[in-house]
């Protein structure tokens, strides 16, 4: 909506010859980067939790908590640790918090997820399998 109003504002008083390129530029400049920024992948595979470009072996995780909207807001706001690693997409209100065995330099990760219970369960299953020797270390 903002891009449309912005293009109309910038292009007002001009012919469509100016308005069309301005609109295309504004879409490319504002919408495309926003769409690309929300493509952070979160997955648990082969004993590794991958969130964005970072990876964490599940054996380094001591506790896993699925957070609702209010808990997520607290962990990212008033109760946040500045050293924490966060992979957050602002339009996803729920998340998973994993505490690490070695809290230096990063005490915990907060990873946004539409289905935090499923992600927490997958991390727990992977950690159990690795500890039992059924998966990669």
Beta pairing partners, 41: none
Enter the tokens of residue 132. 């039992």
- Name the phi and psi angles at 105, rounded to 5: -90, -10
What confidence tens digit (pLDDT) does each residue in 34-72 have? 777 667 789 999 999 999 889 999 999 999 999 999 999
> Measured between alpha carbons, how far is residue 39 from residues 44, 85, 88, 136 in Å?
16, 17, 11, 27
Asked if pLDDT for residue 20 goes beyond 80, the answer is: no
Hey, what CATH class is 42-131 in?
Answer: mainly beta
Question: What are the domain boundaries of the chain?
Answer: 2-37, 42-131
> Is residue 122 a contact partner of residue 135, using CB atoms and an 8 Å limit?
no
What confidence tens digit (pLDDT) does each residue in 79-130 have? 999 999 999 988 899 999 999 999 889 999 999 999 999 999 999 999 999 9
* pLDDT of res. 11: 60
């Amino acid at each position: 909506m903002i891009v449309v109003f912005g293009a109309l504002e910038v292009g007002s008083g001009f012919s469509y010859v100016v308005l069309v390129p301005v609109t295309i530029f504004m879409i490319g400049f504002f919408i495309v980067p926003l769409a690309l920024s929300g493509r952070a992948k979160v997955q648990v595979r082969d004993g590794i939790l991958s969130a964005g470009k970072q990876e964490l072996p599940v054996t380094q995780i001591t506790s896993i908590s699925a957070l609702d909207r209010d808990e997520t807001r607290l962990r990212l706001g008033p109760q946040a640790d500045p050293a924490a690693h966060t992979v957050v997409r602002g339009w996803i209100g729920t998340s998973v918090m994993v505490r690490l065995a070695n809290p230096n330099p990063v005490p915990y990760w907060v990873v946004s997820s539409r289905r935090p219970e499923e992600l927490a369960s997958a991390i727990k299953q992977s950690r159990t399998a690795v500890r039992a020797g059924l998966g990669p270390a």
